[in-house]
Chains A and B, each alone.
Chain A
Amino acid sequence: MKLTLRVWRQQNAETPGAMATYEVDRISQDMSFLEMLDTLNEELILAGDEPVAFDHDCREGICGACSLVINGDAHGPERTTTCQLHMRSFQDGDTIDIEPWRASAFPVVKDLVVDRSAFDRIIQAGGYVSAPTGTAPDAHATPVPKPDADFAFEHAECIGCGACVAACPNGSAMLFTSAKVNHLNVLPQGAPERETRVLDMVATMDDEGFGGCTLTGECATACPKGIPLPSIAAMNKEWLRATRKVRR
């Protein structure tokens, strides 16, 4: 396949960026999208240019590092991560626009690399169970009903890639935040911190400059792990409950 790529190039956080156009040839249908970019980068290096910087690591769809907006879609046209997107999803002769995640809470670091540390700070605000090592009772001491365990797992699948924020017209992190709140709040282990967790995580989410939720549903459509949109409603419920119940 022969493709025209229009890629966002930006030297660093301070300098403005722009789209640059590249032609790539001999692209195989079996390549992953990132392998296609590898091919471009090999050519750029040999030509003495700087390769396109992009985040990637596991390349099997679980680490959450890769983060490209491809033709306006976070992670491209398929519901998966960019690393698991394959070139068979494109046609010979296509022009492909590649941009970084766009959100004020995710400033561009270079080219297609953005700073997602705001997500870490949301987790630090309460996305954990306070269970210091060594204090645990036997694993079978507290049975967890299977539906609750499944609900927790479904939300725990979030890989923290940020596609939800990238896809949301408001740059909102509600889906990310709700995934962790729901995972922990439904479990008996997470119950003692149920109220403070949701209040503090939502407050931090706001502080980090993410937008609000207008329930457009773009986040859930873009989510490679299929975190469902009702996850947000469930968190809202937790939040409202917490505003009434939290011990002041």
Chain B
Amino acid sequence: MPFGPSVVSMALATRTDRRPSMTRTLWDSSVGKKTIMAVSGLVMLGYLVAHMVGNLKIFFGPGEFDRYAHWLRTMGEPVLHYSWGLWLVRVVLVAAVVLHGVSAYQLSRRDIKARPTKYVHKRARTSYATRTMRWGGVILALFIVWHILDLTTGTVHSGGFQEGHPYQNVVDTFSTWYGNVIYIVAMLAMGLHVQHGFWSAAQTLGVGNATRDRVLKTLANLLAAVLTAGFVSVPVAVMTGLVS
């Protein structure tokens, strides 16, 4: 070898080959996956807002609440067939949940691999909301499963589940102690998740900057608080007998 040991690995030259498609680029990159998480998260957040507002109709009595629930199946008619609108929403939501979850799983694995040795000197890092994103996400996923089995399919419902009478079903669920505990704990987790998640999504999508940061943080806190309060108000109302 005339010139001594050569470099171990030739670094990448300027990439002249054809670049992969935008989808491929998104999926292969940590930044891209975060984008997918941000967008799917915002989709779910939008759904949560609508869901929470709908829930509040329970305070107007069984008639209005059940009519609202029925409308969810007829929305979009006559363009759409009965309940197609709702199924469309469900498909979008499932896609969002799957993309969000798979991305989160893959990114978490990457993150854990990137710090294989922990520091000996431990100290609390970052805010509670930030630290609980992963476990909070898992709790929420489990909750969603229970929630659907409870109030959509009625599989694990406590009382006699009545198709088409959601008002009564809700009251049944929140008449059990565990129903309340599961729901309220999950909603608190949701609040924390939204608080860091919304702000984080804004950063990932590049909306954040130094001047906008306070606005975004306030908005995140507000969203988290309103959503948590809105959702929790229902079981509280049932427990206190305001709704029965």
- B-binding residues in A (CB < 8 A): 6, 8, 19, 69, 71-73, 97, 99, 102-105, 121, 124-126, 167-172, 196, 199-200, 202-206, 209-218, 228-230, 232-241, 243-244, 246, 248
Contacts and interface: CB of A to CB of B under 8 A. Distances in A.
The 10 closest A-B pairs by CB, nearest first: A237-B206, A211-B114, A171-B114, A170-B111, A233-B208, A97-B121, A212-B30, A211-B111, A72-B123, A72-B121
Contact of B206 (A205, A216, A238): A238
A199 B130 contact: no
Given A104-B114, A211-B115, A243 B26 contact: yes
A144 B127 CA distance: 39
Given A8-B120, A199-B25, A209 B11 contact: no
Given A124-B11, A125-B12, A237-B206, A210 B125 contact: no
A105 to B, nearest CB: 7
Nearest to A208: B114
Nearest to B24: A243
Contacts of B119: 69, 72, 99, 102
26 contacts: A72-B119, A72-B121, A97-B120, A99-B121, A103-B115, A125-B11, A169-B115, A169-B126, A170-B115, A203-B28, A204-B12, A210-B114, A211-B111, A211-B114, A212-B33, A213-B204, A214-B107, A215-B199, A215-B200, A216-B130, A230-B209, A230-B210, A233-B209, A238-B206, A239-B29, A244-B22
Contacts, number: 154
Contacts of B209: 230, 233-234
Interface string B153-189: 0000000000000000000000000000000000000
A214 B30 contact: no
A72 to B, nearest CB: 4
A208 to B, nearest CB: 9
A212 B106 CA distance: 10
